[in-house]
Amino acid sequence: MAEAAEKEFWRWKEYNWHNPDLDWRSAEIVAAGVDVGSVSSQAVIMADGELYAFASMRTGPDSPASAENAFNWAIAGTGLTLPDVHCTVGTGYGRVNVPFAHKTVTEIACHARGANFIYGPAVKTVLDMGGQDCKAIRCDEKGRVTSFLMNDKCAAGTGRGMEVFADLLGVSIEDAGEMSLRVDSEPEPVSSTCVVFAKTEAIGLLRAGWSRERVLAAYSSAMAHRVVALLERIGVEPEFAVTGGIAKNAGVVRRIEKELGVKAARTSYDTQIAGALGAALFARALAQKGK
Amino acid sequence: MSRSLRGDCCGRPNGNLRRKVPGCFGAIAADNPGSRGRKTVPGGRGGLGREAWEEMITAGIDVGHKYTKVVVWDGERVLARHCRLTGFEQKEAAEAALAAALGDAGVPRERVAAVVATGAGKSEVWFADSRITEVGADARGALCLVPGARTVVDVGAEEGRAIRLDAGGRVVDFAMNEKCAAGTGSFTESMARALGVGVDEMGPLSLKSTRLVPMNAQCAVFAESEVVSLIHARTAREDIARAVNDAMAGRIAAQTRRVGVEKEVVLAGGVARNAGFVKALEEDLELKVVIPEAPEYVTALGAACVARERAGGKGNG
């Protein structure tokens, strides 16, 4: 019982992966991208043009250590070491804290570049829903940024807001999306903008007998509404794609699609690594130039 | 400068005025709980006894996001004040708060000439004779306590207001934030929780600060993470508390400057009890603010004053 009370529902799973069918030793260029976000850090290794390995974990209070941890975890079990990497690019909120990076690139450019790789050149509008910010990006067929809008001031419409709700409702953050879709009818969105006030409002709704599913649905549509406002200001040109952690939350993504009237592109890639992947692509281009 | 509203405050919900000011009108209520009929009230102006119940008595109810406050007013003095958590049943909170305040004052309900409701939950006060906006009530209450008031700053649990008055006491302009927790009492509350201290400790703690540390986050949710990071970085709690109060004051000062700052500046709302915030705000605005003794009751008092005016009563201090 005490254990359940102490469970941290927002704590999403950290993970790493590498492609066992690829051998980095036979690759001409090994490039790395490290994205140190405000909430999560990712490292991606590319062997020539292909995704080879990645890791995603929570950013600790020490950014340089977080960058190193993510990188070390990505190369774990691959035999790869830092000197084997031809070029590394750092990105994200803590990009200046990637001590082993050759260069830093803004996360806006990296997300557009990463989305271009993940979803293909047809993508013209990218919505990156990160831990503590949300960016609407317009880009061309090469993944170059043409314009963007960003909210990094307010937790409404960011992953952090969803974490707060997961914790409040005692729902694991990975289940929040699916759960919010299990409602008979769509409730009115939570009316408060501020996450702090929305939390109070949600407690009131729970008291009034709402199910957790319904409260999640109300919050997810409020969140969708916030980011749609951002998207509409910049203009949405298909294809439209979502990156970042919230891209994995079907409840929010379906509601964004519904409000926009545009379907988001689908992928089997991990959307949370888009930034680091973009950074690795920049690193690869840099290494090619150097050769 | 300010005429004081004596007695207990919101920091203690359901505070009992009788115990606080036994020498005053409250003593009557204590001796004759629920008594009816005429009573001579000792004290009052010049210590003369007077027929209190011949006076028109009104009540103002301020149903705030967090607390519901009631002031019972005879045009000259506050007969009783009551404060309780609003909770989710605003209707019940308003009813209970009025009943408790009248009980404290020893005034039967039928003696109340008019009740005016204000605050976020004013529409829930079904028994009110009329309603008034929080801005109007704030202005009225501040003027009643500080006749020279030209700027009223009210920082409550989930709302922040800045109001500019002209020389005649009319509202010229106002700015309001009810969308964002930054710049409201809930911001300080969240940070106090992250720091592991009571919200009432934030003021005294921040006054002991010796070092300026910047707070970058504006959003209360992000600021909470920032406070946790500062704790990890072994920043002194005093310095974090000060950073929180400075950030709050910065937001409120900016909001106040938008309407224009003119003396006297009256600071109302529960956050006025945070001495660290007050100091930071005074430094930011580069002037001294006037804080009534019971700052969280200013809006309710304003409503009671308006009730009196609307019921045809004269005076209002």
| Same domain flag for A39 and A155 | no
Tens digits of per-residue pLDDT, A53-63? 999 998 877 78
Strand residue runs (E) in A81-218: 87-91, 103-104, 125-129, 134-139, 145-151
Model confidence at A1, pLDDT cuts 50, 70, 90, reads very low
Strand partners, B61: B70, B117
Asked if residues B175 and B249 have their Cβ atoms less than 8 Å apart, the reply is no
Tens digits of per-residue pLDDT, A171-208? 999 999 999 999 999 999 999 999 999 999 999 999 99
| Same domain flag for A202 and A72 | no
The count of CB pairs under 8 A between chains A and B is: 49
ipTM: 0.83
| Same domain flag for A143 and A255 | yes
Of A61, A160, A207, the CB nearest to B232: A61
| Per-residue pLDDT, A6 | 59
| Per-residue pLDDT, B54 | 59
Dihedral of CA B140/B60/B145/B10: which sign? negative
Percentage of residues in chain A having pLDDT higher than 70:
97
In three-state form (DSSP H/G/I as H, E/B as E, the rest C), the secondary structure along B152-173 is: EEEECCCCEEEEEECCCCCEEE
Of A61, A132, A193, the CB nearest to B222: A132
Asked if residues A90 and A36 have their Cβ atoms less than 8 Å apart, the reply is yes
Of A160, A204, A208, the CB nearest to B221: A160
How far B85 CA sits from the closest chain A CA (Å)? 14
| Same domain flag for A67 and A160 | no
Q: A72 or B1: whose pLDDT is higher?
A: A72
Please report the domains of chain B, with CATH numbers, ordered by start residue: 17-138+297-310 (3.30.420.40), 148-291 (3.30.420.40)
Tell me, rounded to whole angstroms, the distance of Cα B186 from its chain centroid.
15
Tens digits of per-residue pLDDT, A6-62? 567 777 888 899 999 988 889 999 999 999 988 899 999 999 989 999 999 988 777
| Same domain flag for A141 and A249 | yes
The model's pTM: 0.82
| Same domain flag for A90 and A132 | no
**CATH assignment at residue A100:** 3.30.420.40
- Phi–psi pair at B193, nearest 5 degrees: -65, -45
Q: Exposed/middle/buried for B21, CB within 10 Å: 0-12, 13-18, 19+?
A: middle
In angstroms, the CA B216 to CA B214 distance is: 6
| Same domain flag for A177 and A100 | no
Over residues B77-98, the mean pLDDT reads 94
CB atoms within 10 A of CB A201: 17
Tens digits of per-residue pLDDT, B159-198? 999 999 999 999 999 999 989 999 999 999 999 999 999 9
Instruction: Flag if A61 and B233 touch (Cβ within 8 Å).
Output: yes
Q: What average pLDDT does chain A have?
A: 91
Over residues A82-96, the mean pLDDT reads 92
Count structural domains, chain A. Answer: 2
In angstroms, the CA B181 to CA B66 distance is: 13
| Same domain flag for A69 and A133 | no
Over residues A68-97, the mean pLDDT reads 92
Mutate which: A151, A154, A193, vs B, most B CBs within 10 A: A154
| Same domain flag for A109 and A171 | no
The rounded radius of gyration (Å) of the Cα atoms in chain B is 20
Instruction: Flag if B220 and A194 touch (Cβ within 8 Å).
Output: yes
Containing structural domain, residue A281:
2-114+273-290
Strand residue runs (E) in B166-314: 171-177, 265-268
Over residues A258-285, the mean pLDDT reads 94
Mutate which: B180, B189, B227, vs A, most A CBs within 10 A: B180
Over residues B56-80, the mean pLDDT reads 95
In angstroms, the CA A111 to CA A125 distance is: 11
Among chain A residues, the shortest Cα distance to B180 is held by A194
**Residues in chain A closer than 8 A to B65 (CB atoms):** 200
Q: Answer yes or no: is pLDDT of B234 > 70.
A: yes
Model confidence at B37, pLDDT cuts 50, 70, 90, reads very low
How far B182 CA sits from the closest chain A CA (Å)? 9
Tens digits of per-residue pLDDT, B246-302? 999 999 999 999 999 999 999 999 999 999 999 999 999 999 999 998 999 999 999
CB atoms within 10 A of CB A82: 12
| Same domain flag for A59 and A159 | no
| Per-residue pLDDT, B2 | 45
| Per-residue pLDDT, B16 | 36
Q: Answer yes or no: is pLDDT of B3 > 60.
A: no
| Same domain flag for A17 and A75 | yes
| Per-residue pLDDT, A291 | 62
Residue A267, token pair as written in the block: 């992928």
CA dihedral of A41, A47, A48, A54, whole degrees rounded to 10: -20
CA atoms within 13 A of residue A50's CA, in its CB half-sphere: 12
Listed in sequence order, the residues at least 6 apart from A95 whose beta carbon sits closer than 8 Å to its beta carbon are: A35, A36, A101, A104, A105, A106, A107
Which residues does B contribute to its contact with A (CB < 8 Å)? 65, 88, 158, 179-181, 186-187, 190, 218-222, 225, 228-229, 232-233
Q: Answer yes or no: is pLDDT of B207 > 60.
A: yes
| Same domain flag for A93 and A200 | no
SS3 content of chain A, % helix, strand, coil (to 5): 45, 20, 35
Q: Answer yes or no: is pLDDT of A285 > 50.
A: yes
Model confidence at B39, pLDDT cuts 50, 70, 90, reads very low
